[in-house]
């Protein structure tokens, strides 16, 4: 069953992050933390500097709601970054290239 709700994908990423932490899978943990940070950053909105905030909670601003496509584009961007790093490294850093390939495999599960 295909679900178009972006929150389901975010929840899946968070559950998988918790599982990775429990099993002490460092590579999956750092990969998923990076994706979730990207999602969180993408949801941030900028607040104009000339606004005067008065009162408790007056600095609260609603976050931008991301679509499923937005989240998938963030994941794709992470994959592209890893692929570009592999191209730049070539055969110079075998172990790091292997790690980048593993990151790509992890991320492809969320597309």
Q: So where are the chain's domains?
A: 6-40+66-108
pTM: 0.81
Q: What's the mean per-residue pLDDT of the chain?
A: 88
Cα dist from 61 to 48, 49, 71, 104, whole Å? 11, 13, 21, 34
- Over residues 63-106, the pLDDT tens digits come to 788 999 999 999 999 999 999 999 998 777 788 999 999 999 99
Looking at the chain, the whole-number percentage of residues with pLDDT higher than 70 is: 84
Per-residue pLDDT for 39 more than 80? yes
Residue indicated by tokens 């601003």? 61
Helix (H/G/I), strand (E/B), else coil: 53: coil
Tell me what pLDDT residue 1 has. 44
Q: How confident is the model at residue 111 (pLDDT cuts 50, 70, 90)?
A: very high
Under 8 Å CB-to-CB from 104, ≥6 apart: which residues?
79, 82, 83
Q: Which fold has domain 6-40+66-108?
A: Hypothetical Protein Yqey; Chain: A; domain1 (1.10.1510)
Between the CA of residue 76 and those of 10, 21, 22, 39, what are the distances in Å?
Answer: 15, 23, 26, 12
* pLDDT(26) > 60: yes
Tokens 């992470």 identify what position?
A: 78
Contact (Cβ atoms closer than 8 angstroms) between residue 68 and residue 4: yes
């Amino acid at each position: 069953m295909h679900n178009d709700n972006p929150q389901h994908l975010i929840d899946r990423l968070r559950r998988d992050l918790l599982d990775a932490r429990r099993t002490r899978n460092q590579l999956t943990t750092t990969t998923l933390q990076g994706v979730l940070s990207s999602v969180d950053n993408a949801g941030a909105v900028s607040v104009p500097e000339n606004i005067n905030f008065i009162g408790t909670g007056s600095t609260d601003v609603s976050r931008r709601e991301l679509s499923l496509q937005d989240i998938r584009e963030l994941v794709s961007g992470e994959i592209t970054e890893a692929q570009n790093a592999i191209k730049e490294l070539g055969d110079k850093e075998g172990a790091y290239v292997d790690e980048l390939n593993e990151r790509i495999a992890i991320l492809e599960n969320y597309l």
